[in-house]
Amino acid sequence: MFETQTEDRGQVGIGTLIVFIAMVLVAAIAAGVLINTAGFLQTQAEDTGIESTQQVSDNVRVLTEVGSVADDGSGVEKTSLTLQRAPGAGDIDLSEMDIQYLGPSGAENIGAAETYTVTVDVEDGTGTGANADVSVAPIGTSVTADDSGTATIELPAGTYDIEATDGSATGSETLTVSDDASQTITLGSDNTETSDPAGPDGNTGYTVSAISSESGGDNVMTDNGDRYRITLNHTALGGSGFNIAALGAGDEAELTLTTASGAQRTVTVQVPDSLASAGSVVAL
């Protein structure tokens, strides 16, 4: 009397199963996308955090700011900053910094001047000047020769007085640098002339000089005890087409130092209203 339609019920059950499987697959794909996205965002957040930390920590401290008065007494022709690593900073290559200059003459971005490798061999007349102290004037760089009496220093173009000291014995030579060079210094001899008090030419960028460095005469600060001098030769840079000129009495300039990691340090230098005698050094 009553007829049961089992075939239709079977078809409905199969259709429901297919829909369920499709929903499971869609959910699985969506979950995979979410997991991948979450992983990407986490990695991106970690990279951003590391970059932000470097921008905060890999910075420099400015210890002193001085200026060199031009020979004619007209103004400050060079600005020099003494730097050290900020607490917690990693290694900082000062040759990779960028300096943004803003002064009376306008604004300018300045990179590092090209440097050359100078090899100094120290001799004492009977052998090598092992572990002799080698200093470079007028920039104040000082390094120690190795066991064979050799010291390697990175210097910008310019004329320097190089002196070697081993105990009570000293020797010196004047060297003009315009390319990679080598110089032999014999202890007990003095062959120096009057080097250019302006130091490095610095006509292509700022110059870096190691005052004291654990890693030797390179441009990388690796220790909190390292001290380096950054110098802008206003006159030389202006003569090479940079929008920068000597600072007159009462002038002010702003220097923003940006390291390779993006950390920035801004310092304002101001020339005294009354300049000291020609060729002297003044605090800014």
The pLDDT tens digits for 204-261 are 889 888 888 776 667 889 888 888 989 999 988 988 889 999 999 999 999 999 999 8
If asked whether residues 80 and 209 sit together in one domain, one would say yes
Q: Domain boundary residue among 162, 191, 220? A: 191
Task: Give me the half-sphere count of Cα atoms (radius 13 Å) on the Cβ side of residue 28.
Answer: 6
User: Structural domain tally of the chain?
Assistant: 2
The whole domain housing 161 covers: 115-191
What sign results for the dihedral spanned by CA atoms 83, 246, 194, 199? positive
- The contacts of residue 183 (CB under 8 Å, 6+ apart) are 118, 119, 120, 121, 162, 173, 175
Q: Map tokens 């610095």 to a residue.
A: 202
Phi/psi-derived region of residue 241, left when phi > 0, alpha when psi is between -120 and 50, beta in every other case: left
If asked whether residues 108 and 146 sit together in one domain, one would say no
Pairwise CA distance, residues 271 & 284, whole Å = 6
* pTM of the complete model: 0.66
Q: Does residue 8 lie within any of the structural domains?
A: no
Quick: pLDDT tens for 174-208. 888 888 888 888 888 777 765 454 456 677 889 88
Quick: pLDDT tens for 151-170. 888 888 888 888 998 887 88
Q: In what order do the strands lie in the sheet with 76-85?
A: 207-212, 227-233, 76-85, 60-69, 281-283
- State what percent of residues in the chain have pLDDT above 90: 24
Q: Domain boundary residue among 191, 217, 252? A: 191
Q: Does residue 80 lie within any of the structural domains?
A: yes
